[in-house]
Structure 1
Amino acid sequence: MANHPPSHYPDIGQLGEDLVTQWLQSTGWLILHRRFSCRWGEIDIIAQYQGEQVEEQGAGEPGCRGAGVQGSIALSTQHSTLAFVEVKTRSPGNWDAGGRSAITLQKQTKLWRTAEIFLAKYPDKADYPCRFDVAIVSCQQISALPTQITSAQNTLFSSSVAGYEFHLQEYIPAAFDCLID
């Protein structure tokens, strides 16, 4: 078997991020940036979820004719939410619990500082509620998959790309607190 150069192999991390991006878009998120980087680090995905418009039934002004419209509808818009998403793509038998152990306090600090740079660069987003999410993706080379079909009922989203099978195993919203100085 020939040893191929590293450029021959697909970027598994990017393919895992592609899967998470597709899933986020399918659930209503708008992708603002992929691999946003600055001197502090990199954020894999920055996504925005638009707040939904909520219709509230107005009762009008009781006892006042012409002053209010009985049964009018007022629209109130909730603010958008920003998610800074760290994607961990791992193969079976990995050493760090599917990537969960790689989200150290030091990594959280880097993500927090990178998010601050993003918000400084895009001040129109600075007042949005923000959170840090973690996506756990498993991947396995298709030729290495067992011939027996296994259940993927715990998978949120799946795809096959470049000879690999990818599964979004877990999506953790607000995975860590933002209490870092």
Structure 2
Amino acid sequence: MNTGKLGEEVVAQWISERGGKILARRWRWQRGEIDLIAIDRDILLFIEVKTRNRSNLDADGLLAITPQKQAKIVSTAQLFLVKHPHLADYPCRFDVAIVRHQAPTRAIPVSGGCANVGNPLHSMTDLDSGECLLLLDYLAGAFDAG
């Protein structure tokens, strides 16, 4: 599994464990994609997942959420709602999840997850590759549809 998919998986696990329901992964339409779409507490979530290594130059992916990227996510979300009109009455929110990836040589497996780096919201070790993924931050309502 590639790093981006692993990052999305750790976020999906966290949402599910908190009672949310994943509706779609990597939903694509035309030129847009939404990493995860979920319902949590009667709110429809459109989630952009940014998975980065420790040494990155874009603030763990935050700088990659440009106004243009936000607009593309919003327009893709609108198309999702056109394709799924039964969900159109849900209030919508645009969230960003920040995931840290550690290569197997740097990951230290521990019971229940990865080595503690700060205080992650959730962690996961891929059993096939030994890669460690840490959900560092979850920004609910990171941007508006506006």
Superposition TM-score, scaled by structure 1 size: 0.73
Unaligned runs of 5+ in 1: 1-9, 51-79
Partner of 1:159: 124
TM alignment of 1:55-94, pairs within 5 A? 80-94=42-56
8 A contact 1:49–1:81 mirrored in 2 = yes
Q: Deviations over 1:54-76 (max 9, x none)?
A: xxxxxxxxxxxxxxxxxxxxxxx
| Counterpart among 87, 96, 114 of residue 76 in structure 2 | 114
Mapped to 1, the partners of 2:9 and 2:77 lie a distance apart of: 20
Q: Does residue 31 of structure 1 match 2:22?
A: yes
Query: CA offset at residue 145 of structure 1?
Result: 4.2
Query: CA offset at residue 178 of structure 1?
Result: 1.4
8 A contact 1:40–1:113 mirrored in 2 = no
| Aligned residue identity for 1:170 | D
Report sequence identity in percent.
Answer: 46
8 A contact 2:97–2:138 mirrored in 1 = yes
Larger radius of gyration: 1
Mapped to 1, the partners of 2:101 and 2:83 lie a distance apart of: 34
SS at match of 1:23: helix
Q: Deviations over 1:116-139 (max 9, x none)?
A: 000000111111100000000001
- The CA RMSD over aligned residues, in Å, is 1.6
The size of the alignment, in residue pairs, is 139
TM alignment of 1:91-102, pairs within 5 A? 91-102=53-64
Query: CA offset at residue 163 of structure 1?
Result: 1.9
| Aligned residue identity for 1:119 | L
Structure with more contact order per residue of length (Cα contacts < 8 Å, sep ≥ 6): 2
Mapped to 2, the partners of 1:122 and 1:40 lie a distance apart of: 18
State the 4+ residue runs in structure 1 displaced beyond 4 angstroms. Answer: none
SS at match of 1:120: helix
8 A contact 1:36–1:42 mirrored in 2 = yes
Q: Does residue 18 of structure 1 match 2:9?
A: yes
8 A contact 2:21–2:39 mirrored in 1 = yes
Query: CA offset at residue 142 of structure 1?
Result: 2.2
